[in-house]
Amino acid sequence: MKNKFIIFVISLNFFTLGVKAESNVSYTLGYASQYISSGVDYNKSRPAPYASIDYSLNEMFYAGVWTSGYSGGDGANQEVDYYFGVTPSFGDFSFDLSHITFIYPGNTGHGVSSGEFGLTVSYAPSERPYSTDVSFKQGDQGNKDETKEISFNYSFEHFDSSFTYGDVQNYNEFKSVSLSKNISSYDITLSYIDNEMDAAEDVASRDHVTIDISRTF
C-alpha cells in the first residue's frame, strides 16, 4: 500500500507541474441499515455506521480512507479501505481509474488484506436528466475474480433514481434499484437489492431493503 501511495504522489507532482493546484478535503459520516456490497451482506444484517476522509486535487486526482463495521468471520469486526484514483473527462464522457486496498483488523485467517483495480466509464449528456456507468474491477492479490457492473441513472424533479446490474465472477449476480434525495444537507438513499449466489457458495441468496443516511462536511 505504501508503494502505491508513493507512485500516486509522484504522479500528482508530474501532472500538476506549472498548474495552479486547487485541493479540497471532505469528511463524511453515515449510517447504513445493512452493509451491502455487490449484493452481499457483510455485516450479518446488522446496522453499519461508517466514516470517510477524502482529498481531491484539481478535480482530477483523489485519495481517501473509509471504515465501517464488518462481520465476515475470522475475528474481524471492522473494515478499513484505502483508495486513490484519477478522473479525467472528455466531453460527455468521464473516467475513473482507481485502486482500493481492503484491510480487516483482527482477521486471524487468510485475506487479512486484499486489493482491487477499478475502471468506470460514465456517459452523462449535458442538460439531460440521465447518465450511464459501466464498471470493471479486477482483484490484484489472492482473489483474481472480476466484477462487472452497469448502472442507469435518472434524475426526476424531486429525487434521483438508479438501476444497477452486476456480476462477480464465480461468486454472485445482483440487481438493485435505488431512490435518493438530499434533505437539509443529508443524503438519503432507499435501495432494494436482489442477490443470487452461485450454487457452490455457502452464503444464502436473498433480497435486501436498505436505507443509508449520510452527511458530507
Q: Tens digit of pLDDT for each residue in 53-91?
A: 999 998 899 999 999 988 766 677 889 999 999 999 999
3-state helix, strand, coil in the chain (%, to 5): 5, 65, 30
The pLDDT profile of the chain, 217 residues, written as one tens digit per residue, is 545 544 555 555 555 555 567 899 999 999 999 999 999 888 888 899 999 999 999 889 999 999 998 876 667 788 999 999 999 999 999 999 999 998 888 776 655 678 899 999 999 998 889 999 999 999 886 555 789 999 999 999 999 999 999 999 888 999 999 999 999 999 999 999 999 988 655 566 789 999 999 999 9
The CATH number covering residue 45 comes to 2.40.160.40
Alpha carbons 210 and 180: distance in angstroms, whole number: 12
| The model scores a pTM over 0.75 | yes
DSSP state of 204: P
Q: What is the extent of the structural domain holding 207? A: 2-216
Q: Tens digit of pLDDT for each residue in 172-190?
A: 999 999 999 999 999 999 9
**So what's the pLDDT on residue 2?**
46
Strand partners, 88: none
**So what's the pLDDT on residue 6?**
47
- Provide the residue type at 89 as one letter: S
Number of domains in the chain: 1
Alpha carbons 42 and 49: distance in angstroms, whole number: 13
Q: What is the largest CA-CA distance in the chain?
A: 55
